[in-house]
């Protein structure tokens, strides 16, 4: 990948040194796309599974502080709010390695309230902060087709847009800091409720004696059609619940939704019900299955499995 010879501004963006912290199921392919795009990457928490990133040209670092010291832009892709807090502000954390003018991008899915606090603390170090959670799961991360929902200042967004473009397709600056996390919560609410709706519909069809695969095929052409009916409906019928996005992670996101709703004095009754179904699955030992396995909680109550 090369920038046009007369594009000085884009060449400067291309030459930014990038730090990437969090090399799990999502982070590893995202970091890989940045390396493939020609960026110099400092990596933290390199393990056996993420060692190929070093083979591609990435540089393993010994701490988050070391990553921040060596990078112009530091990207986080971590499981939950406490993880981000610890990596940013713990001993040998990112904050200790920052200097004026650097940018921190948190692509984790965490609390909007905590995000605004983190951003304020990073701003006090004369650095920029963007929250940029993603949707699209492992498949989207591998294909570089993630939807990226960003909160922050326009000038900070414009500066790092080429990095987002290396990892995703639908990239939206939603609003100020915290707006990206708010958009992700809205996404997770809608996804959870749609999984629940598809589960109920297919379970009803199966229990009533119809072929759920044929029912799914029939309604895919109507108003009920959705990616979740297409992808997760098939998982439910085929009983393929290997994780693309785990129930335990969706529980975390819905916890953030319900906590945020309480702070807004907002009732989200259907969201609360979806969380209880996820909780039921987790109690049955299914927390590490794909979130489409929410159907198992309903199947337990119905004493009937789809397709059986």
The length of the chain in residues reads 308
Cα torsion 243, 149, 182, 253 to 10°: value is: 10
Q: Which of 21, 16, 18 is nearest to 3 (CA)?
A: 16
Q: What percent helix, strand, coil does the chain show, rounded to 5? A: 55, 15, 30
Structure tokens that stand for 1 in this block: 């990948």
Give the contacts of 227 (CB within 8 A, at least 6 positions apart).
Answer: none
- How far apart are the two ends of the chain, measured CA to CA in Å? 51
Give the span between the Cα atoms of 243 and 245, in whole angstroms.
5
Residue 106: strand pairing partners: 76, 131
Look up residue 145 and give its two tokens: 């087709």
Active-site residue, selected from the candidate residues 13, 102, 159, 184? 184
Query: Which tokens is 191 given?
Result: 């996804």
Catalytic: 184?
Answer: yes
Count other C-beta atoms under 10 Å from residue 186's C-beta: 13
Q: Which two tokens stand for residue 228?
A: 């979740």
Q: Which two tokens stand for residue 50?
A: 């993420």
Euclidean distance between CA atoms 195 and 251, whole angstroms: 13
The enclosing H or E element of 134 equals: strand 134-135
Cβ–Cβ < 8 Å for 126, 102: no
User: Which residues are designated catalytic?
Assistant: 184
């Amino acid at each position: 990948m090369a920038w046009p010879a007369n594009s000085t501004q884009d060449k400067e963006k291309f030459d930014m040194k990038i730090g990437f912290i969090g090399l799990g199921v999502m982070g590893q392919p995202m970091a890989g796309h940045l390396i493939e795009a020609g960026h110099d990457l400092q990596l933290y928490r390199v393990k056996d599974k993420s060692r190929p990133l070093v083979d591609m040209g990435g540089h393993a670092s010994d701490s988050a502080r070391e990553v921040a010291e060596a990078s112009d832009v530091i990207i986080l892709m971590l499981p939950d709010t406490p993880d981000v807090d610890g990596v940013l502000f713990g001993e040998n954390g990112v904050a200790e390695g920052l200097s004026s003018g650097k940018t921190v991008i948190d692509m984790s899915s965490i609390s909007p309230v905590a995000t605004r606090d983190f951003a304020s603390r990073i701003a006090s170090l004369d650095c920029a902060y963007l929250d940029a959670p993603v949707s699209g799961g492992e498949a989207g991360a591998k294909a570089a087709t993630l939807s990226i929902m960003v909160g922050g200042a326009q000038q900070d967004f414009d500066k790092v847009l080429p990095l987002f473009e290396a990892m995703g397709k639908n990239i939206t600056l939603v609003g100020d800091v915290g707006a990206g996390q708010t958009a992700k919560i809205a996404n997770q609410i809608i996804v959870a409720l749609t999984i629940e709706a598809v589960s109920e519909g297919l379970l009803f069809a199966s229990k009533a004696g119809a072929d759920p695969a044929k029912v799914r095929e029939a309604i895919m052409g109507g108003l009920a059609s959705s990616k979740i009916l297409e992808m997760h409906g098939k998982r439910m019928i085929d009983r393929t619940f290997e994780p693309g996005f785990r129930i335990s992670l969706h529980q975390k996101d819905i916890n953030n939704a319900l906590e945020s709703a309480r702070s807004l004095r907002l009732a989200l009754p259907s969201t609360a019900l979806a969380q209880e179904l996820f909780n039921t699955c987790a109690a049955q030992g299914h927390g590490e299955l794909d979130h489409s396995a929410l159907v198992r909680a309903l199947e337990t109550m119905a004493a009937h499995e789809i397709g059986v």
